[in-house]
Amino acid sequence: MLGHALADVFVEEDLVLGDLPDYDITNYDDLNLKIDQIKPEVIINAAAYTNVDGCETDKELCLSVNGLAMGNLAAAAKKQQAVLIHYSTDYVFDGDNKDGYAEDEPINPVNAYGVSKAKGEELIRQSGCNFYLIRTAWLYGKYGKNFVDTIIDLSVKQEEIKVVNDQFGNPTYAPDLAKATRQLMIDKKPFGVYHQTNANNCSWYDFALRIKEIKGFEAVITPVSSAEFPRPAKRPNYSILINTKLTPLRSWQEALVEYLKK
């Protein structure tokens, strides 16, 4: 999802696009060899194991892709003196703070996915490479499975859709994040950690209601608590990301309208 959006935004640059099976970030020797051949100035990593519940049952793969592989990428970037751009998640926070989390807040993940992403952050910091670590949240877009499309699909199949109303975050439109990434490079911001999402926050229930309002389907959206909707991975209740360093993006409401009207 994000990879496609980035390719669209950086279309005028000299790009080398890679994905499985040709580029495997968990295989350092092969990855390092290919990066040696390319000699990039910038490495952007949009690869991740994002199945949050799946991470609970396959912790080894989750940690390998989201965590240990970041050591591989960071080492390759440092060797090439390239800038590494990597995306992390709101799920590195425990979600106990109703006001949300700024970039320098201490992390404390509550599920395997968050633990793996936190490990990736740690390895990038320790590597000594020049990096932009961009935390984002609740990503949706044209390619790949996402909450918006799931709600629309369910509206055709079900008369009632139950959505949790006690988890709050920042819905983020992948093309907006991709554009913000390019702007970060154009502005030559200091290396380090950044939070970038669409502006404003909401619950998953509020998000679903807005989708219904725009699409006009008849299925009923019913609020439920997280306790009523048990899942393998615990979710943070308040994983709102506070952006203190970058120009705010447009509201999630405005971005959602654009996505659903296309």
CB neighbourhood size of 37 (10 A): 9
∠14-20-23 over CA atoms, to 5°?
55
Residues 6+ apart with CB under 8 A from 66: 48, 49, 55, 113, 116, 117, 119, 120
Cβ distance 6 to 181 under 8 Å?
yes
Residues 6+ apart with CB under 8 A from 145: none
Cβ distance 112 to 59 under 8 Å?
yes
Residues 6+ apart with CB under 8 A from 186: none
Cβ distance 237 to 168 under 8 Å?
yes
* Peptide bond preceding 21 in cis form (omega within 30 of 0): yes
Which amino acids are annotated catalytic? 113
In 3-state terms the chain splits into helix, strand, coil percentages (rounded to 5) of: 45, 15, 40
